[in-house]
Every structure is written in structure tokens, then in C-alpha cells.
Amino acid sequence: MSRHDAIVIGAGHNGLTNAAYLAKAGLDVVVLEKNDYIGGAAVSRELHPGWIYSNCSYVCSMMRQAIHRDLNLSTHGLLLVPYLGTINFGDGDGRLFAYHNPDAAHLELKRHSPHDADAMHRFQADLTRYSQLIRKTLMRTPPEPTSFRPKDIREFLFLAKQFWSLGEKEIYEYIRFFTLSAADFLEDYFENDLIKAAMASPGIIGTALGVYSPGSAYILLHHVMGDVDGNIGAWGLARGGMGAISTALAGAVKAHGGKIRTNAGVRKVLVESRKAVGVLLENGDELRAGIVVSNLDAKRTFTRIMDKADLPEGIFEKACNFKIRGSSGKVNVALSGLPRFSGVPNNRYINRGGQTFSGSLETMERAYDCWKRGRWSDNPFIESIIPSAWDPTVAPPGCHWMSNFVQYCPSALTNGPWTPEKRERFGQTVIDKIERYSPGFKDLIVHMEVRTPHEIEDEIGLTEGNIFQGELTIDQLFFNRPFPGYGQYRMPVRSFYMCGSSTHPGGGVSSACGANAAREILADLRRPNTVPQDDFHDE
């Protein structure tokens, strides 16, 4: 039996971030990972010789630059390259190119709708305003609304001040925005179907809501509040694949003296007199530690690796009721050449950003209707990207790899459990849709990996394969995340913490959850804080 100051369960990016900051404070930390590779959903794996798949998360925007800089992630090999444009494919021949250059963007929008081209300025100003406010909370611990402790009251006053600084009108608009559906929100600005669909697509990624479901406007914001070098809403690719982020974070953990153990799945968190004292590994080993931090989602943490008997009354039920729904699939494809897309002259811009097959709001909503009925749509929403078009390290020369994120894919099918045949059929549906826009696409396929929620849960442990570790609805956001009363990373068992995306600020490769949890842990241990404050280009 070995003893550590801290055990972090799960070597996803938040677990690694948490461990890095604990180690930086001088703690003896060990990160335990059940797989033989680290990274959780931020991973790059050579699943076909020569092709490096980022087979879960595929792009990055929310990574806090303060953490990037503070943990010297660039020294540890991380380079984030921004997207400069995306092609949105309409239901028919419609194509909408999203340009980075404002003049070009305006002309392109004007081609679809002069009204919308103009409305885009107001839309962007409003969205920027909304994200500026929410971004301020990313690396802060949410206050507890029932508490009268000075710290919580101070935090509430801080928030009130931020809120107040919006001015009366924008306060109402903000509240409104938080509760609206993506479609209703967008219809305040736009009239063109393709533009609406393109703008709505971040509103459904990863969630079990549709574009018409109230609350999806926030999901939209959650995806655009990140930034790359001050460009709010911009996305970037990690050179070498998303695994480069995990590798860099692991480098930081080790540089500060932390340890990472792979093939070390945790069977159970050991609790003695309502205090976490260590973990029992799958292989029977017992590890003891002063504190235990779980990077697993809330449901898995409290229903799989903890005993109901060790938990205060009601927590187990809360965890069971925690909304963590599988709604996304992923089809990763190795290609022998660059696909050509119809309606995209000379195949330009393929190396500047992604391809989004959004169609129209109705297409997206109908895909959601299928999810509700426990099946996948024949016409799913797909967000694709071909990173190899500008990252030479992820595919052999002249060859390419394409990431296709699919919304929606149910975790449970009405017609019985997932089988390999069904999985292949699901993959085929996705390929068929891409083929419609890229004749000859199928002939380029060298290797293909299809991942339904079932595989995502199995391999990396996200319950139902939910990419956010829990739905981003108001009942599970901010001080309600994961449950009301436990929004400050401390869990109902002493010395036990959570640091994954099930905590504030939620999903996305941001490292913020892990860093926030580390700050709270260090405060409890009365150690000096090692976590930096967030900073922004635009403030």
C-alpha cells in the first residue's frame, strides 16, 4: 500500500490540469488512468498505421490561455492553430462560407441575405457581450446561493456588479437569452434558413436538446465563448491532434513532480468515517491519500466508484437523476486523398476550417426528433474537419484523416441494444450523407472508426458518451453543477472533490474545471494558491 497527498482519478485534461496545479503546490500527486493511454476525450491515437486519430474531441477553443501560459504548455509541445473559415452545406445546393476577413464575410452573407449580412453585426455584438460576461466566471468558483459566508456574498456582489454593468436593457436581454431556444434567439436576427442553420449548429452539439428546445441558446453560447488569441468564438486545432493537449498537460504534471499511472482503473473510493482516504484499484491494490479527486462524471463517480452507504442521504438519487445523455456519435475516417465537395469551386478553404452539414433548422430538429424516438436520422447533422489538410503530422503524405462529429446518436436504441452491425449501419448513414455532398468520397476511405455513445462510454468512461459530462441546462449549470449545494468542487464526503466537466463551468477542453477544483483544494489544505487568474484579450 502506497500513500500520497492526493489521488486524481482519471487522466482526462481536467484531471491532468488539477494534478499539475496540486503538484505545483508541492503535493505528492498521482493520477490514475484506467486506459493504457492518457487524455480521456482529448486523445490522439494511431488506430490505423500512419493515421493519428483525435477520435473523441477534435477542436479546441475554450482552453484557458492563462493555464496554457502558466503551465508552459507550449514548452511541453502544444501549438494551437486557429480556424479561418468553415463551409456550411445547406439542404440542397446552398453553401455558406464563413470567412475570417470581415469584408469577405459580409459579402458572402449578403449573397444569401442583405438583411442578415447587416444583422450579423448586431448578432456578433450581442453574442460578444453575453460571452464576455460568462467568460469572467469560467475560472471562478460559483457562489453558494444559500450561504451567508463572506466569500460567497463577495462573489455574488462581484457577479451583481458584472450584471449591473450591462445596463438595464441588456440585463433583460441576457435573462431572455439564457432561457430561449437557439431558433428563437436566431430568429431575432436572421431570416435566411442556411444562415440560421449555420449559426444554430453550436446550439446542438453534444446536447440532448434540439434547436427549438428552450435552453439551447445557451449551448450555442457555450460553444462560442472560447477564443483563440482574442478572437471570441474562434476555434483552433492542436497540432498533432487533441492528444497534444493531454501530452502537454502530462508534461506539466511530471515537471512539477506528479505521477501518472495508466492501466490503473479505480474500483472504489475508500471512505472511512465520512472521509475519503484512498482508492481501491481494479487489480486489488490499495492507495491511500489525504485527498481524493474524481475527474469522472458525477453519475459515474457516485453510482460506480462509490458506495451508496458511504454517501449522505439523497446524493445517490441526485446522481441517478443527473442528466447526462448520450446524443452524439463520431465517425473517424482515414482517406487516401483530399475529398472534393460539390459547390465548392476548386475545393478551396478545405484547409482553413471545417465542413458543417447543417442543412436547415428543420433538418436539425428532425434529426433530434429521431433521437427522441431512439433512432438515428437518415439526414443527421455532421460537423466535419480534415485536420490533415493543414497539420502534416496526422496522416501520411498525400493522405488525410477526417473527423465527423454526428448529432444525434442515441445511447439506447428503441429496437434493442447497439450491435456491431447497427454501429456499421450508423456509420454508413453518415458516409452516405457526406457522399451526397462529395461524390467519390467513399472510394477514398482507407479505414473507418465508428463511435456511438456506447463506445465512447466503454472506452473513456463518459456516461452515455455525453461529451459535456452532463447536460448544460440551467438546472445543471453554475452553482447547480453538478447538484445544487455542491457547486464548489467539494463533494458530500470530506476530502473528496470533483474536477471534471460535471463541475462548473462544464464541458469543453478548457482545463477550467480542473484548475478551479485545485484552487479550492489548496484553500482547504491552507496551501498557497498556484492557479492563475484568467485574463482576456478584450478586457
Partner 1 sequence: MVNRNGYTRLDRYDSIVIGAGHNGLICAAYLARSGRRVLVLEAAESPGGFAARREFYEGFRASVAHTVSHFSRTVADELKLAAKGLPSNFRVLPTVGLNTRQEHIVLQNSSLSGADIRDADAYARFHALLARFARALEPFWSKTMPRIGNNSIGEALTFAHIGFNLRRMGKRDLHEFFRIASLPARDLMEEYFESDTVKTAVSWDGLIGSKIAPRSPNSAVLTMLYRMSEQAGHAIPTTGVAGLVDALSASAKDLGAEIRCGQRVSRILVNGAQNGLSVNGVELASGEMFRADEVISAVDPRRTFLELVGAEYLDIGFTNRIRRLRCDGYVAKLHLALDGLPQFSGLESVDGRLVIAPDPDTVEYAFDDAKYGECPTNPLLEIVIPSIRDESLAPADKHVLSAHVMYIPYRLKGGWTDAARNAACERAIDTIERYAPGIRDQILHSEFLTPADLEQEYRVTGGHWHHTELAIDQMLMMRPTYDAAQYRAPLPNLFLCGAGCHPGGDISGAAGHNAAGEILR
Partner 2 sequence: MSDEHTDDAYAGERLKLSPFHSRQSALNIRDAWASWNGYKFAPYYYDPEYEYFCVRNSCGTYDICPMQKYEIKGRDAELMLNRMVTRDVRKIGLNRVGYSVWCTDEGRMIDDGTIFRLAHDRFMLTCGSPCVAWLEQSAFGFDAVTITDISDTLAGLSVQGPASCAVLKRMGFDGIESAKPFDVRRFPFHDDELMISRTGFTGDLGYELWLHPELALQVWDELYAAGEDYGIQPYGETATNMARLEAAFIMPAMEFNEALRTVRFEHDQTPFELNLGWLVDFAKPHFNGRTALWREKQRGPRYTLTKLDIEGNKPAVGSYIYRSKRCVDEIGYVTSAMWSPAVKANIALAMIKTEHLDGDLLAEIYYEKELRHYRRVARCKHIKKPFWMPSRARATPPPDC
Q: Does 362 bind partner 2 (CB under 8 A)?
A: no
Ramachandran quadrant class, 511 (left: phi over 0; alpha: psi -120 to 50; beta: rest): left
Taking the CA of residue 333 as centre, how many other CA atoms within 13 Å lie in the half-sphere pointing to its CB?
Answer: 25
Q: Does 111 bind partner 2 (CB under 8 A)?
A: yes
Q: Which of 21, 89, 99, 408 binds partner 2 (CB under 8 A)?
A: 99
Q: Select the span of 105-113, 290-298, 329-337, 425-433 touching partner 2 (CB under 8 A).
A: 105-113
Q: Does 275 bind partner 2 (CB under 8 A)?
A: no
Among partner 2, partner 1, none, what binds residue 145 when CB lies within 5 to 8 Å by partner kind? partner 1
CA distance 159 to 164: 8
Extract the C-alpha cell encoding 284: 486489488
Minimum CB distance to partner 2 smaller for 358 or for 495: 358
Q: Does 97 bind partner 2 (CB under 8 A)?
A: yes
**What x/- string results for residues 279 through 298 when contact with partner 2 is judged by CB under 8 A?**
--------------------
Residue 414 burial (10 A CB sphere; 0-12, 13-18, 19+) = exposed
Residues 6+ apart with CB under 8 A from 136: 162, 534
Among partner 1, partner 2, none, what binds residue 121 when CB lies within 5 to 8 Å by partner kind? partner 2
Minimum CB distance to partner 1 smaller for 348 or for 373: 373
Concatenating the DSSP letter of every residue in 372-426 gives: HTTS--SS-EEEEE-GGGT-TTSS-TT-EEEEEEEE---SS-TTSS--HHHHHHH
Q: Does 177 bind partner 2 (CB under 8 A)?
A: no
Q: Does 346 bind partner 2 (CB under 8 A)?
A: yes
User: Residue 398 to residues 38, 342, 449: CA-CA distances in angstroms?
Assistant: 29, 21, 20
**Binding residues for partner 2, total number by CB under 8 A:** 36
Minimum CB distance to partner 2 smaller for 119 or for 245: 119
Please report, as ranges, the residues that interact with partner 1 according to CB under 8 A: 145-146, 164, 167-169, 171-172, 175-176, 179-180, 184, 187-188, 209, 212-215, 318, 321, 323, 362, 365, 369, 372-373, 473-475, 479-480, 483-485
User: At which residue does the C-alpha cell 465512447 appear?
Assistant: 456
Residue 464 Cα to chain centre, angstroms = 15
Q: Select the span of 53-61, 128-136, 154-162, 400-408 touching partner 2 (CB under 8 A).
A: 128-136
User: Residue 28 to residues 24, 243, 247, 269, 512: CA-CA distances in angstroms?
Assistant: 9, 25, 20, 18, 21
Concatenating the DSSP letter of every residue in 233-270 gives: T--EEETT-THHHHHHHHHHHHHTT-EEESS--EEEEE
Q: Which of 2, 72, 75, 165 binds partner 2 (CB under 8 A)?
A: 165
Among partner 1, partner 2, none, what binds residue 372 when CB lies within 5 to 8 Å by partner kind? partner 1
The CB-of-54 to partner 1 minimum distance in angstroms stands at 31
Q: Does 348 bind partner 2 (CB under 8 A)?
A: yes
Identity of the residue numbered 30: V
Q: Contact, 371 vs 208, CB < 8 A?
A: yes
Extract the C-alpha cell encoding 383: 460537423
Q: Which of 101, 263, 393, 419 binds partner 2 (CB under 8 A)?
A: 101
Residues 6+ apart with CB under 8 A from 268: 279, 280, 305, 306, 307
Q: Does 104 bind partner 2 (CB under 8 A)?
A: yes
User: At which residue does the C-alpha cell 465563448 appear?
Assistant: 225
Minimum CB distance to partner 1 smaller for 69 or for 122: 122
Contacts with partner 2 by CB under 8 A lie at 95, 97, 99, 101, 103-104, 106-108, 110-111, 114-119, 121-122, 124-125, 128-129, 132, 165-167, 169-170, 189, 343-348
